[in-house]
Amino acid sequence: MTRRPVDLSLYLVTDTGLCGPRGVPATVEAAVAGGATMVQLRDPGTTDADFVALGLAVRQVLAGSGVSLIVDDRVHLVQDISADGVHVGQRDMSPSQARQLLGPDAIVGLSISTIEQVRAARALGDDVLDYLGVGPVWPTATKPDHGPAIGPDGVAAVAAASPWPVVAIGGITTVRAGALRHSGVAGVAVVSAVCAAEDPAAAAASLRATWDGQP
């Protein structure tokens, strides 16, 4: 069973609108300085060309950091950006097809909200997925079309059923990150908690300290 290494401790999902005039690359750079361990580039409203340009700028600020860059949904742009992998949802390209296109070394993540979806993912085989994004834990305005919030107990149940590491997402704040530390997940994913923060580095540092159990 092959597992590509992933550090899900503090997983930043970008939001171009929330980053505002500061911009996505500067926000990512600050978040990584504060302790972010993975970055997912997400901007569903932009063109492929603009998405690639944004991805290359983010790739540049991540150079030498050891932080993986994941592309949301757009499997066909992973190589153009020199990203480390892709994250797909239940309605996106199948993880198996993404793995086939990207090869054995890419990181492939999948959004999950139920134990039934974990079972379906397990049927894909051992070497397709590297991690699961589980949620929404709490309601979130950054993805208005999300399904029902499953709460910390729902996340814990999915994590217990998953053979892959799990990152929790949806409405996570510094306080809520602490509530998830013992739920069996490998980390927390945030959008607005960092992208909309006045000081993304400080926001990321606070989240990371809470996740690591520091006072």
Q: What is the pLDDT of residues 67-84, one digit of tens each?
A: 999 999 999 999 999 999
Q: Is residue 3 part of a domain?
A: no
Active site residue 42: yes
The reply to whether 142 falls in a domain is yes
pLDDT tens digits along 159-210: 999 999 999 999 999 999 999 999 999 999 999 999 999 999 999 999 999 9
Residue 94 appears among annotated catalytic residues:
no
Instruction: Report the mean per-residue pLDDT for the chain.
Output: 95
160 occurs within a structural domain: yes
What is the band of 1 on the pLDDT scale with cuts at 50, 70, 90? very low
Q: How many folded domains does the chain comprise?
A: 1
Active site (annotated) includes residue 111: yes
Residue 1 placed within a domain: no
Residue 45 has pLDDT above 80, yes or no: yes
pLDDT at 143 over 90: no
| pLDDT (mean) for 99-115 | 96
| Residue 39 DSSP class | E
Q: Is residue 74 part of a domain?
A: yes
Asked if residue 167 is part of any domain, the answer here is yes
Domain assignment present for 5: no
Q: Given this model, what pLDDT does residue 126 score?
A: 86
- Per-residue pLDDT of 22-42, as tens digits, reads 999 999 999 999 999 999 999
Question: Around 41, how many Cα atoms within 13 Å sit in the side-chain half-sphere?
Answer: 33
Choose the catalytic residue: 59, 74, 99, 143: 143
CATH (domain of 134): 3.20.20.70
119 in any annotated domain: yes
* Domain membership of residue 147 as a residue range: 10-211
- The catalytic residue among 42, 59, 74, 208 is 42
Q: Are 89 and 73 in contact (CB under 8 A)?
A: yes
Mean pLDDT, range 121-126, rounded to an integer = 94
Q: Are 184 and 165 in contact (CB under 8 A)?
A: no
CB-facing half-sphere around the CA of 135: CA atoms within 13 A: 23
Return d(Cα 215, Cα 189) in angstroms, integer.
Answer: 21
Peptide bond into 136 cis (omega under 30): yes
From 74, 99, 111, 206, the catalytic residue: 111
Structural tokens at position 59: 């790739």
